[in-house]
């Protein structure tokens, strides 16, 4: 056995750590690779992220930053792979949008209403099941289906998971491209025109299929949808407190977003442009926003994320919208 101070011992120790990592990838995250070359590339990326996470979390323990990272189901993905597989929101918000006028009209009677310091719709009973979009760029469909579901719950006390798969399969006429991406605008337009059926009757498959909604009659159909003013966190706070959960676009590009584990996310490199992912805003405190994601329970705080308020971090306030039932 080589002495602990030797370079050989360090290499043997690192090899053992990599082997443990390989076993963890394949068992905990149920990973399989097309070839040995792909597996080695994934292990190499896992190794790079392992070092980045260790350095980052050391800074967290020293009190220098406010959030932690961990090895999750994306830790063996190269950044290009991460972008290609799941960051597929179309960033398509013009300066003038008729949906903004709808918000101004709908929101006028709420403008002077007092709101609480903190709101958490999950604590009020709105707790959708934790979804996983898999390797399908369907974030736009999940965000809009859940935004409609939230209004159904808030206005009528009714509970039912609505179908993101219906939006994936059926909204091509509104500019969406199934698992290759789509926009919140296109998904909202489709939902307002066609209505959404229960996920029980139209379950999620993680791939685009033929539209099968025509024979399903029980639908939740919004009257319209509305867009909040661009970049306005105060308007977003008021709308979240008085109207309900909001579909939002974010810039999910940084590796810290990819590997987020817990705490208040506050990466200055998460700039407020190039929005490429959709989430559901469900709460706020004076210090942070609370968002629901579609990356399963192993990502973030059991599928949720907290993002620092006051800086429009990740562009969270640039593309916020809701439905009018």
Same domain, 44 and 89: no
Asked if 222 and 100 sit in the same domain, the reply is yes
CA-based nearest residue to 144, from 321, 324, 325, 267: 321
Q: Is residue 77 part of a domain?
A: no
Using alpha carbons, list the distances in angstroms from residue 254 to 124, 168, 201, 301.
32, 26, 36, 18
Number of domains in the chain: 2
Q: Is residue 41 part of a domain?
A: yes
Q: Would you say residue 283 lies in a domain?
A: yes
Q: Please give the biggest Cα pair distance in the chain.
A: 76
The answer to whether 303 and 296 have CB atoms below 8 angstroms apart is yes
Q: CA nearest 205: which of 295, 141, 136? A: 136
50-59, 60-69, 105-114, 229-238, range with the lowest pLDDT? 105-114
Exactly one of 49, 251, 293, 312 is catalytic; name it.
293
Could you tell me the sign of the dihedral formed by the alpha carbons of 78, 79, 83, 86, in that order? positive
Rounded mean pLDDT, 15-41? 73
Residue of 136, 139, 170, 270 with catalytic role:
139
Burial of 299 (0-12, 13-18, 19+ CB in 10 A): buried
- Inform me whether the pLDDT recorded for 102 exceeds 80: no
Choose one of 37, 65, 93: the last residue of a domain.
65
The reply to whether 266 and 155 lie within a common domain is: yes
Neighbours of 282 (CB within 10 A): 25
Q: Do 150 and 31 sit in the same domain of this protein?
A: no
Residue of 56, 176, 277, 318 with catalytic role = 277
pLDDT score for 37: 86
Three-state SS at 72: coil
Whether residue 217 sits in one domain with residue 131: yes
92-101, 188-197, 225-234, 311-320, range with the lowest pLDDT: 92-101
Q: How far apart are CA 260 and CA 270, in angstroms?
A: 13
Residue 71: inside a domain, yes or no? no
- Whole-Å CA distances, 321 to 74, 93, 119, 155: 28, 11, 17, 17
Give yes or no for residue 93 having a pLDDT over 90: no
Angle separating helix axes 139-156 and 184-194, nearest 10 degrees? 50
Question: For the domain that residue 133 is a member of, what is the CATH number?
Answer: 3.90.70.10
Same domain, 261 and 128: yes
**Cβ neighbours around 283 below 10 Å, total:** 22
Tokens in use for 198?
């229960």
Q: Say yes or no: 259 and 296 in one domain.
A: yes
Annotated active-site residue 176? The verdict is no
Query: pLDDT at position 95, please?
Result: 47
Report d(CA 325, CA 323) in Å as an integer: 6
Catalytic status, residue 312 = no
Structure tokens at 82: 């991460």
pLDDT at 160: 84
pLDDT tens per residue across span 115-160: 999 999 999 999 999 999 999 999 999 999 999 999 999 998 888 8
Min mean pLDDT across 21-25, 67-71, 187-191, 239-243 is at: 21-25
Domain that holds residue 51: 7-65
Assess whether 54 and 125 both reside in one domain: no
Cβ–Cβ under 8 Å, residues 323 and 188 = yes
pLDDT at 14: 60
Quick one: pLDDT band at residue 43, thresholds 50, 70, 90?
confident
- What integer is the mean pLDDT of 248-269? 98
Q: Alpha-carbon distance 242 to 186, whole Å? A: 25
* Alpha carbon distance 13, 21 (integer Å): 12
* Position 186 in a domain: yes
Residues 161 and 31 in one domain: no
Does 75 fall in a domain? Answer: no
For tokens 């068992």, the residue is 27
What is the reported pLDDT for 161? 93
Quickly count: other Cβ atoms within 10 Å of residue 50's Cβ: 16
Q: What is the pLDDT of residue 282?
A: 99
- Let me know if residue 70 belongs to a domain: no
C-beta neighbour count of 121 within 10 angstroms: 21
Start-to-end Cα distance in the chain: 70
User: Domain check: are 22 and 135 in the same one?
Assistant: no
**pLDDT at position 166:** 97
139 catalytically annotated: yes
The whole model's pTM is what? 0.90
Which three-class secondary structure state does DSSP give residue 235? helix
One domain, residues 52 and 181? no
In a domain? residue 105: yes
Q: For residue 269, what pLDDT is reported?
A: 97
Indicate if 46 and 91 belong to the same structural domain.
Answer: no
């Amino acid at each position: 056995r080589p002495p602990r101070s030797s370079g050989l011992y360090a290499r043997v120790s690192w090899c053992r750590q990599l082997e443990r990592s390989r076993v963890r990838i394949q068992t905990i995250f149920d990973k399989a690779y097309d070839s040995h070359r792909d597996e080695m590339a994934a292990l190499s990326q896992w190794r790079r992220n392992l070092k980045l996470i260790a350095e980052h979390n050391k800074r967290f323990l020293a009190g220098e930053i406010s959030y932690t990272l961990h090895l999750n189901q994306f830790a063996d993905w190269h950044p290009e792979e991460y972008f290609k597989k799941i960051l597929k929101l179309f960033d398509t918000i013009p300066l003038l949008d008729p949906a903004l006028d709808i918000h101004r009209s709908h929101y006028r009677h709420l403008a002077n209403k007092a709101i609480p310091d903190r709101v958490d719709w999950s604590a009020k009973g709105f707790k959708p099941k934790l979804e996983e979009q898999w390797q399908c760029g369907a974030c736009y469909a999940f965000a809009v289906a859940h935004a409609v579901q939230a209004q159904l719950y808030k206005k009528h006390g009714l509970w039912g998971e609505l179908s993101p798969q219906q939006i994936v399969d059926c909204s091509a006429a509104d500019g969406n491209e199934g698992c290759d991406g789509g926009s919140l605008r296109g998904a909202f337009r489709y939902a307002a025109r066609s209505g959404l059926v229960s996920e029980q009757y139209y379950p999620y498959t993680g791939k685009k299929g033929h539209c099968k909604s025509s024979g399903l009659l029980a639908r939740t159909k919004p009257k319209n949808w509305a867009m909040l003013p661009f970049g306005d966190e105060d308007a977003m706070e008021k709308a979240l407190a008085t109207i309900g959960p909001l579909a939002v676009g974010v810039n999910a590009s940084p590796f810290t977003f990819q590997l987020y584990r817990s705490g208040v996310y506050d990466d200055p490199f998460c700039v407020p442009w190039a929005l490429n992912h959709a989430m559901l805003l469900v709460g706020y405190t004076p210090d942070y926003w609370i968002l629901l994601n579609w990356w399963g329970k192993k990502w973030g705080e059991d599928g949720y994320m907290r993002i620092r308020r006051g800086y429009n971090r990740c562009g969270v306030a640039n593309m916020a919208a809701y439905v009018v039932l």
